[in-house]
Structure 1
Amino acid sequence: MSKKNKAPATPGQKLIAKNKQAHRLYEIVDKIEAGISLRGCEVKSLREGRVTLKEGYIRFKEGEAWLVGVHIAPYENTGPHDQPDPERDRRLLLHGYEITKLQAQVEQKGLTVVPVRMYFSRGKVKVEIGLGKGKNVHSKREDIKARDIQRDTARQLASYK
């Protein structure tokens, strides 16, 4: 098993991609699972793990949530006439009350909605989106310091055994 496809938290899910930048740049306050509207050749490309979530974010237009800035590489065995734009906006499948709630929090509190990870759940592609508050340099340093302390204590405990 490669590093990229570690076992997900919930059984029955196959991890496609993870946005490592999301936890580094944002303090994730809330997470929501959303479906995503895709074309067949995009799903085949996702099965090969050819997606980049790094620059992705969620935009709200006319009562719908759209995934913007996510690159899904074209599937190689598809003809040139059937390949969609790799950077196209993709509609997220959420309930109306979830969209309203997220949109209100983004507008009032100045939060951002970013994709955290993408995975297959029972054959369907799901996107875990996180409501995040931007971190400043000081809080990033605190996170690094806390991670180093945790690593050092784990090493100390392992050496005593």
Structure 2
Amino acid sequence: MSKQPQQRYAEAIVNRKARHEFEIIETFVAGIQLAGSEVKSVRLGQASLNESFAIILRNEVWLENMQITPYKHNRMEVLEAKRSRKLLLHKKEIAKLQAKVSEKGLTLVPLKAFFTPHGLLKIELAIARGKKLYDKRETLKNRENQRHLDQLRKQYS
């Protein structure tokens, strides 16, 4: 009898645009409330944090626009792919986030979703400020210069 190949699980779902579009000020880690089939989809890497954001409503933090593709073997009700999902934080953390986000120009952006060694899904949230176009160009220029310097060091080492 041959063994079936094991499915490879996703390491982490990363919001790659977030670090390009925003200046990260502070980060937090929050739990997320999901249905069982959604967890299975995230484990398979069928989730996206692109264009997602977090909001605070009635002292609760909600993650909006996180895309989780419905699990294909689910027999229960099919959930919306982009529904609002509650983030789990302590009251003090929520109060701190609310105070920071009330400042002009700051927002809550998810950076990545990852599983803990105990199998719990966590979301890394950041308090961020949007970058201007010239800031983005400057960041790219600095990154290219650093890459070039690293190549030169490697070449002459």
Length-normalised TM-score, structure 2: 0.90
Count of residues in Structure 1 that have an aligned counterpart in Structure 2: 148
- Output the CA distance in 2 between the equivalents of 1:55 and 1:139: 20
1:45-124 equivalence runs, <5 A? 45-79=41-75, 81-121=76-116, 122-124=118-120
Determine the structure 2 residue equivalent to 1:9.
none
Which aligned segments of 4 or more residues in structure 1 are displaced greater than 6 angstroms?
A: none
Spell out, residue by residue over 1:6-52, the C-alpha distance to the aligned partner (whole angstroms, 9 max, x if none): xxxxxxxx732000111000000000000000000000001100001
Please give the secondary structure, in 1, of the residue aligned with 2:126.
Answer: strand
In angstroms, what is the RMSD of aligned CA positions? 1.3
Gaps of 5+ in 1: 6-13
Q: 1:105: Cα distance to partner?
A: 1.1
| 1:108 positional shift | 2.1
User: What's the offset of the Cα at 1:100?
Assistant: 1.1
SS at match of 1:132: strand
Q: Percent identity?
A: 38
Q: Structure 2 regions of 5+ residues with no counterpart?
A: 1-8
CA distance in 2, matches of 1:86, 1:32: 24
TM-score calculated relative to the size of structure 1: 0.88
Could you tell me how far apart the structure 2 residues matched to 1:31 and 1:62 are?
21
